[in-house]
Amino acid sequence: MTKTKSDIPHGTLDLLILRTLDTMGPLHGYAIARRLEQVGGGTTRLSQGAVYPALIRLEQQELIRTQWGLSETNREVKFYELTPPGAAHLRKEIASWEQSTALIAKFLGARP
């Protein structure tokens, strides 16, 4: 049986990026995209075209900040880092996500 690649569920990319930065520390955009795919176990499809607009949006909301630095290949790249307001927002989003998934799990497990 072959695995099919799936998209990240709608509305979760920002949460996954924030959590990745919280866990891994500052990363550049390409590393964030590859980490999300890695955690997805190779079953997740993620284009850089999806990641970069999300990073811009998160930066505009001041949930992350940027700083220029050198990548592993000595290229100058922009690194993204979680801000204190971003960490607080992440905690709220995780709590909301857990509450929502618990509700869905109740309905999916309900028997007639």
Range of the domain at 49: 6-109
Say what the pLDDT of residue 42 is.
Answer: 74
**Residue 26 lies inside a defined structural domain of this protein:** yes
Closest CA to 46 of 5, 18, 14: 5
> Considering the domain boundaries, does residue 1 fall inside one?
no
The pLDDT, as a whole number, for residue 3 is 42
Q: How far apart (Å, rounded) are the C-alpha atoms in residues 44 and 8?
A: 7
Q: Are strands 6-7 and 44-45 parallel, antiparallel or unpaired?
A: parallel
The per-residue pLDDT for 45 is 72
14: in domain? yes
Rounded average pLDDT per 10-residue block, the chain, 112 residues: 55 93 95 88 75 95 96 93 98 94 88 68
What pLDDT sits at residue 98? 92
Residue 84 in any domain: the answer is yes
pLDDT at residue 12 in the model: 87
What domain count does the chain have? 1
Say what the pLDDT of residue 7 is: 67
